[in-house]
Structures are given as C-alpha cells and as structure tokens.
Amino acid sequence: MAFSKLGLAPAILEGVKAMGYVEPTPIQLRGIPLVLAGQDLIGSAQTGTGKTAAFALPILSRLGKHSSEAGPRALILEPTRELAAQVETFFRDYARFSDLKTTVIFGGVGYGRQNEQLRAGTDIVIATPGRLLDHLEQGTVRLDKVEFLVLDEADRMLDMGFLPDVRKIVERCSRQRHTALFSATIPPQIETLIQWAMRHPQTVEIGARRSPAETVKHVIYPVSDSQKTDLLVELLKRVNYDSVIVFCRTKHGADRVAHVLKRANHAVCVLHSNRTQREREQALRGFRDGRFEVLVATDIAARGLDIADVSHVINYDVPQHPEDYVHRIGRTGRAEATGDAFTIMIAEDSSHVFAIERFIGAKIPRVKLENFNYRYTVLFEEEKTGRAAGFPGRARAVRVHGGYHFAPGRRR
Ligand code: AMP
C-alpha cells in the first residue's frame, strides 16, 4: 500500500516523499484514514512506530491552506519541550510544500517570539500545557477555532501531573473538533479523560501495547553496586556503538556518570531538567549531528524524542517504573532499525527488574562480561540456581542467546 492511496492532500504527499518515506507504517495505514474521515482516534502505539506522521499527515491534509482566521485550527499537546520542538519540526517538514504555518509554544524561553508568531496568525500550535495556559490567561492565544486536537503521550502527561492543565485547555477548545489521543498505556485517569473529551473514538492498537520494539536485543548485566561505573566504562570500551544513550535515575547521578565518561575520553553530553533550555538544545543538537557519541540523560529524554540511529541504550540505573523501561529502550530500534538495550542491575534492583519482566512478558537474559574482574554479588546465585524469585509461579529455565530465559510456570 502506497501513501498515495491514503487520500492525503497532494502538497502533503510531496512532503512525505521528500522525507524519503516509501510505505506507510501500520499505525499510519490504520490511523490516517480515520483522522481524514473525521473520526476521533485513540492510538495505542509506541514511539518509533511512526505515530507522529499518523496524526500530522491527515491533519495537515484536512487543514489544506493557511487561514488568516484568528487562532490556530489544530492544537497538539506534548508533555515536554523537547517533544514539542521535535513534533513541530515534523509538522514543518511534512507541510513544506504548503503555506500552512506552525508555532511551537513551551516554557523556559521568552514570550516575545511566541507572541509574535501567534499575532501573525498560525494554523497549527504544538505546545506543552503550562506555557499554553499562560498564553490563554494573557489572551495571546484563543482556541475556539481548533478543529483538531491531539493529546500526545497522554500517560506521560498524567505522570507529570499535567492532566488538570490539559482539562482546562480542552475546555477552551471548540466543541466542534476532532480529537486524537496517543498513549502507551490507558490507566483509569486517561480512560476518564477519553470519556470526557472524545466522541465515539476508534482505537488503533499496534502490536502488543506493552511490548518494546521487537528489533531490540535486551540484556541485563548483574554487578555489585561498587562496580557499576567500572562496568559501564568497560561496556563502552568493548561495544561497537555508533551512538548511545545512558539513562540515570537522578540528575546528580547523570552528572557524575557524564564526568566519569568524559574522563574515559568519550564525547559526552548531558540532558536533564536542571539544565537550561539552551543547554538542553545544545546537547540534543550535538548528539544528533554526531559531535557527542554518548548522551547521559534522566527520563525526561526517554519519551518520544526522535534521535536517529541510536545504536545502544544503557540503563545505568534500572527504571523504577516498568513503563519507563519500554520508553527508554524505545530510543533504539526505531522505525525498523536494530539496536541493543543493556541494563546494569544490582541486587537491590531485583524487584524492579522482575516488575519489568512481568510488564513486557519476557525474561531478559543475564549476561556477564568476559574477563571483567567481578566482585561477588548475590545476583550470581540466582543465575546458578536458575530460579527467578518474584517471577509469577515457578520458572522453567531455557537457554537463549547465551543467557537464560525463564518461562513463567502456572500459579498453584
Ligand atoms: P515516531 O514514532 O512518530 O516518533 O517516528 C519515528 C521515526 O520514524 C521518525 O524518525 C520518522 O521520521 C520515521 N518514520 C515515520 N513514518 C515513516 C515511514 N512511513 N517510513 C519511514 N520512516 C518513517
């Protein structure tokens, strides 16, 4: 099936061609016709599946031409500044053969340029909730002409405490609108939001909602707490990577790890919320254009950021929430590329690791680095006995990829 058969506007099709896309991805195949037909859509697909184009292309097609009416006709809400900036870039790229205008609105920067663009008239606003609310309060934007509303990464907006702001924003949008919502998981609060904000939505679910990108190879490296950093340095020495993101639990931890890696002569940049907007943009740009080979980040960078060709994701700290594991490793294995995801695990992480394995429905192989001077950790006992405490029921051990795969037994 080619893009040309989906009913997109000719100018937008040209934009798609210029991006080098040949065939629509599954979420695009199923989502684009629904949005074009004016259906409300719930998209349950991970990042890396092409979900941005799945809503951007039909919205741009329906908008057609620039309108000088006051107020945007499409509004896309994103949880983070980085995502908002990235999604706006996609909109601009897809719309480059049309005269449609886009504006990105987020906090941490001045109001001047945003006010100017809003005053000049824009068709599409891509925004984070807080700063958009400020503009609404100041009367610098109105949303009564919004025909298309997208709530992207809705579960992330929930996690970040944005749902009350999202509700206030939705209330200011026209009732005659189409709404699309994207979320990797649908917890009860999102279900309530769906009931309240959407009309007869159709759900498009791509793949199992919980499973991480299938092209990614997952491995866990058990190690004692005192050797985490040594193991990371050694891993980076031995792995043939192009670009790697190292995830840390805390900002302080990220700074410390970045410092150690710099000392080991890696070109490193850091991304976390204590950095200024300028520093964050510089880090991302440098990582994208290859000046930095290692990006050390906290979870703000995990969701949805489109960083091309990340060959490896390393969890220096095991994520506390299983969803974050899936989001973190969503950085690799994007759009059919393959990648590796390594997780460094210490004994205290056991319950989080088992929660992740239950969440993704698979056991992640434990692997040891050859000739690494390991100190003892109780985790090596688990490997010897072949039992996975905490995994539901009894575990049957099956060897895969040189590690162990535990198929869950039946609960008695
Ligand atoms: P997303 O899931 O929207 O974050 O998109 C992930 C990546 O896939 C982005 O780099 C897109 O440019 C790319 N992409 C989206 N749609 C297609 C397509 N039909 N063919 C090839 N690449 C695509």
The string of pLDDT tens digits covering residues 54-91 is 999 999 999 999 998 889 999 999 998 989 999 999 99
Q: Please state, as a whole number, how many other Cβ atoms lie within 10 Å of the Cβ of residue 237.
A: 10
Mean pLDDT of 179-190: 89
Rounded to the nearest angstrom, the distance between the alpha carbon of 335 and the centre of ligand 1 is 6
Alpha-carbon span 333 to 128, nearest angstrom: 27
Whole-number pLDDT of residue 63: 97
Rounded to the nearest angstrom, the distance between the alpha carbon of 87 and the centre of ligand 1 is 11
Which protein residue has the closest C-alpha to ligand 1 atom 20?
A: 21
Q: Is the pLDDT of residue 111 over 90?
A: yes
Alpha-carbon span 78 to 70, nearest angstrom: 22
- Could you tell me if the CB of 43 is within 6 A of ligand 1? no
- Could you tell me if the CB of 179 is within 6 A of ligand 1? no
Q: Under CATH, what is the fold of the domain 3-205?
A: Rossmann fold (3.40.50)
Instruction: Note whether 46 and 213 are within 8 A (CB).
Output: yes
For 6-42, what is each residue's pLDDT tens digit?
Answer: 999 999 999 999 999 888 988 899 999 999 999 999 9
| Listed range (130-139, 294-303, 348-357, 381-390) with the worst mean pLDDT | 381-390
Alpha-carbon span 363 to 400, nearest angstrom: 10
- Could you tell me if the CB of 49 is within 6 A of ligand 1? yes
For 170-182, what is each residue's pLDDT tens digit?
Answer: 999 999 999 999 9
The number of the ligand 1 atom at minimal distance from the alpha carbon of 46 is 2
Helix 129-138 to helix 112-120 angle (10° resolution) is 70
- Could you tell me if the CB of 337 is within 6 A of ligand 1? no
List the chain domain ranges: 3-205, 216-408
φ, ψ of residue 107 to 5 degrees: the values are -80, 180
CA distances (Å), origin 10, targets 96, 109, 247, 253, 344 = 12, 36, 41, 49, 49
- Could you tell me if the CB of 15 is within 6 A of ligand 1? no
Mean pLDDT of 379-393: 52
Which protein residue has the closest C-alpha to ligand 1 atom 10?
A: 306
User: Which of residues 285 and 138 earns the better pLDDT score?
Assistant: 138
Q: Is the pLDDT of residue 304 over 70?
A: no
- Could you tell me if the CB of 53 is within 6 A of ligand 1? yes
Whole-number pLDDT of residue 321: 84
SS3 at position 358:
helix
Band (294; pLDDT cuts 50, 70, 90): very high
Instruction: Note whether 337 and 330 are within 8 A (CB).
Output: no
Rounded to the nearest angstrom, the distance between the alpha carbon of 107 and the centre of ligand 1 is 26
DSSP annotation of 124: E
For 327-336, what is each residue's pLDDT tens digit?
Answer: 777 666 554 4
> What is the dihedral sign for C-alpha 168, 302, 219, 252?
negative
Whole-number pLDDT of residue 348: 92
Whole-number pLDDT of residue 343: 95
**Is it true that 3-205 and 216-408 share their CATH fold?**
yes
- Could you tell me if the CB of 152 is within 6 A of ligand 1? no
Band (411; pLDDT cuts 50, 70, 90): very low
The helix/strand count (H/E) of the chain reads as 15, 15
State which H helix or E strand residue 36 sits in: helix 26-36
- Could you tell me if the CB of 97 is within 6 A of ligand 1? no
The number of the ligand 1 atom at minimal distance from the alpha carbon of 47 is 2
Rounded to the nearest angstrom, the distance between the alpha carbon of 110 and the centre of ligand 1 is 31
Residue of 3, 8, 21 with the most ligand 1 atoms within 8 Å of its CB, for mutation? 21
Helix 129-138 to helix 163-172 angle (10° resolution) is 40
- Could you tell me if the CB of 153 is within 6 A of ligand 1? no
Whole-number pLDDT of residue 196: 94
For 113-168, what is each residue's pLDDT tens digit?
Answer: 999 999 999 999 999 999 999 999 999 999 999 999 999 999 889 888 899 999 99
- Could you tell me if the CB of 46 is within 6 A of ligand 1? no
Whole-number pLDDT of residue 360: 79
Q: Please state, as a whole number, how many other Cβ atoms lie within 10 Å of the Cβ of residue 231.
A: 21
Percent of the chain past pLDDT 90, that is, above it, reads: 55
Whole-number pLDDT of residue 162: 92
Whole-number pLDDT of residue 400: 29
Residues recorded for the chain: 412
Q: Is the pLDDT of residue 387 over 90?
A: no
CATH number of the structural domain 216-408:
3.40.50.300
- Could you tell me if the CB of 335 is within 6 A of ligand 1? yes
